Amino acid sequence: MENSNLTASRFRGRSEHALDIKGRLNVPSRFRDVLAQYDSEELMVTSWGAHLRIFPVSQWELLENKLLTNGREQPGLTGFIRLVVSGVTPCQPDKQGRVLLPPTLRSEVGIVKDVVLTGMLDYVEIWDKEAWEMENQATRENFGDYTESLAKLGIF
């Protein structure tokens, strides 16, 4: 996704949290600081395969615009659009910086209590802790698979 403000802070880092009994997630202050730069406190939360994603509204709108203008031209994206767009839920952090994750979204990705938040530059992923550990281990084991793509970016 493109970010119209390339000098804005990015979502970085990883942290572990436990949802409270109501399913609220305490959004770390470093992520709330980044959100403040998007001029909106509202977040868009949706399921994304094995995890949830939190987008600032402006980043979500960029994704929607890409799907609207080019998505229908791509074969097989109708199901993706149905899953991700139909499940998106606007969420407003409370005064303590907590966001209520809708039970339907939590259920879709198997989130019960313990979660891992990962900053992904222009969005945040929310993983069930056990699912995160399996995903992270698989990524470590296949780290060499990224060499070619990283080289094309001038990183490796």
Q: Which residues of 107-132 are buried (b: 16+ CB within 10 A; e: fewer)?
A: ebbebeeebbbbbeebbbbbbbeebb
Tens-digit pLDDT string for the chain (156 aa): 444 445 568 999 999 999 999 999 999 999 988 988 888 778 999 999 999 999 999 999 999 999 988 887 888 888 888 999 999 999 999 999 999 999 999 999 999 999 999 999 999 999 999 999 999 999 999 998 989 998 999 997
* Backbone region of residue 121 per phi and psi (left: phi > 0; alpha: psi in -120 to 50; beta: other values): left
CA 7 vs. chain centroid, Å, equals: 20
Can you list the domains of the chain with their CATH numbers? 14-129 (3.40.1550.20)
pTM, full prediction: 0.89
